[in-house]
């Protein structure tokens, strides 16, 4: 049996400008590309029409079609990573394993376990930076500690950025180094236990004109003013190096959003407790109301606040929510209804096509005032003022609530002014022991 190396695709579903793939194809052995439908993740998904699984399936199908052109084929497995790797070790003479780094807590534990298993067989596990420009400890304060506030982090991030950081890896030009395999049909969605979601996925083509005008349109939900590339960044069907390079050329405001993404990833890496608890631990003392009926009304988009309800209905129907609406709906849940941010974070995790743990937790804690934002907790969005400012003609609202002016639209489930006072008192009470 001839010795081979393996490249493990995860959140990097592309052949071009792929760091780990490039390094694998530069190695001395032919490379077998694999993908694992991880049952440790899939078995926890209640919705069998989860759009993200369909997106991944579409992406690996496209990936496989390209590999077929080079006489190769993507080996797709379905199971737990450890069991799959045991099978691969038994079936192949593996020299080295290559992959790209993932910084979420589950991924870190998974990779540590796989690395240990491979080490028992003297198989090296090589992991590369591909999902971000700067990772882990590459942007730190002078004392070696991680930044916990975005603005100083972003300044250092920008100061360190160079042409080398965004230089593409010509992985696609090394396609002759893949293992030659007969074309095999990939497992269907149904075979892995899922069905098509029936939603339209955004294009991965760079919308140059939208990005050029991003700073003027990004807060207006009724216009097509955002890139819609977040799902492609989430699963690596586009290169972050390419996007940062284009952002530096086209629009600094859009670049700032890409830096926010890396900031939240850095926060989660250094402060993994923030995935399930308050970044500022003293905020765990908040006595949330957690009214289940009000939470269900929020989920359905039936709070009586049109801008909130429109955002939730768009999310439920499409798997997408405009970023301004994410802030408004999150503020409403945590500050008007005084419901634990983790309830909202979990709901977004179920619904968002572009769900990413670091950004989602970071955004929710920003809205709740429990995170690493420099602003105090008493920032509370007024949903009616937000609607007046960002959707003054109700173009967005009427798209998602066509019967707004007729019978049947619900009454407000809470008075904003009263809710604001209630929330401020709850936060003050929670933090008073810490201040003492």
288 counts as catalytic: yes
Nearest to 113 by CA among 89, 82, 87, 86: 82
Candidate list 62, 126, 323, 350, residue with the active-site label: 323
Strand residue runs (E) in 10-136: 31-38, 75-79, 93-100, 124-128
CA distance 84 to 87: 5
364 counts as catalytic: yes
Candidate list 8, 341, 343, 400, residue with the active-site label: 341
CA angle in degrees (0–180, nearest 5) for 32-357-289: 155
Candidate list 58, 126, 177, 288, residue with the active-site label: 288
- Helices (H), ranges, 92-175: 105-120, 150-160
Residue 29 tokens, joined = 């052995």
Candidate list 58, 104, 260, 384, residue with the active-site label: 260
341 counts as catalytic: yes
Candidate list 8, 254, 343, 364, residue with the active-site label: 364
Strand residue runs (E) in 251-364: none
257 counts as catalytic: yes
Candidate list 62, 104, 172, 257, residue with the active-site label: 257
46 counts as catalytic: no
Which contacts (CB < 8 Å, 24+ apart) does range 421-425 have? 422/338, 423/334, 423/335, 423/336, 423/338, 423/380, 424/378, 424/380
Residue 322 tokens, joined = 């405009």
Which strands form 3-9's sheet, in the order they lie side by side?
75-79, 31-38, 3-9, 93-100, 124-128
Contact by Cβ (8 Å): 99, 10: yes
Secondary element (H or E) of residue 294: helix 292-300
Residue 271 CB neighbours (<10 A): 15
Question: Which one-letter DSSP state was computed for residue 271?
Answer: -
List residues with catalytic annotation. Answer: 257, 260, 288, 323, 341, 364
């Amino acid at each position: 049996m001839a010795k081979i190396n393996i490249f493990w695709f995860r959140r990097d579903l592309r052949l071009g400008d792929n760091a780990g793939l490039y390094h694998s194809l530069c190695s001395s052995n032919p490379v077998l590309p694999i993908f694992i439908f991880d049952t440790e993740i899939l078995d926890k998904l209640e919705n069998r029409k989860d759009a993200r699984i369909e997106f991944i399936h579409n992406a690996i199908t496209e990936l496989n079609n390209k590999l077929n052109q080079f006489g190769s084929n993507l080996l797709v497995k379905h199971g737990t990573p450890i069991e799959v790797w045991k099978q691969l070790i038994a079936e192949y003479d593996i020299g080295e394993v290559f992959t790209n780094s993932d910084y979420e807590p589950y991924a870190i534990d998974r990779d540590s376990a796989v690395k240990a298993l491979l080490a028992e067989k003297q198989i090296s596990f090589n992991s590369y930076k591909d999902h971000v420009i700067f990772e882990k400890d590459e942007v730190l304060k002078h004392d070696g500690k991680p930044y916990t506030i975005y603005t100083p982090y972003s300044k250092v991030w920008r100061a360190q950025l160079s042409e080398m950081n965004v230089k593409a890896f010509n992985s696609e030009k090394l396609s002759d180094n893949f293992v030659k395999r007969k074309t095999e049909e990939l497992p269907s969605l149904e075979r892995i236990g899922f069905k098509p979601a029936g939603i339209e996925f955004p294009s991965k083509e760079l919308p140059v004109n939208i990005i050029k005008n991003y700073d003027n349109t990004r807060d207006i939900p009724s216009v097509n003013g955002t890139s819609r590339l977040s799902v492609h960044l989430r699963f690596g069907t586009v290169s972050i190096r390419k996007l940062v390079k284009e952002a530096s050329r086209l629009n600094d405001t859009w670049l700032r959003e890409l830096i926010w993404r890396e900031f939240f990833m850095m926060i989660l890496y250094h402060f993994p407790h923030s995935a399930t608890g308050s970044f500022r631990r003293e905020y765990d003392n908040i006595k949330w109301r957690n009214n289940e009926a009000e939470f269900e009304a929020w989920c359905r988009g039936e709070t009586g606040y049109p801008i909130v309800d429109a955002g939730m209905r768009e999310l439920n129907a499409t798997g997408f929510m405009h970023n301004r609406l994410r802030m408004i709906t999150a503020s409403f849940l945590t500050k008007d209804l005084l419901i634990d941010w983790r309830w909202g974070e979990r709901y977004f995790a179920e619904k968002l096509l572009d769900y990413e743990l670091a950004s989602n937790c970071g955004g929710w804690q920003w809205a709740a005032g429990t995170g690493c934002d420099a602003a105090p907790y008493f920032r509370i969005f007024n949903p009616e003022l937000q609607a007046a400012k960002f959707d003054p003609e109700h173009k967005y609202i009427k798209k998602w609530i066509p019967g707004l002016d007729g019978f049947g639209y619900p009454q407000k489930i809470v008075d904003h002014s009263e809710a604001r006072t209630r929330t401020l008192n709850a936060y003050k009470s929670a933090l008073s022991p810490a201040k003492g």
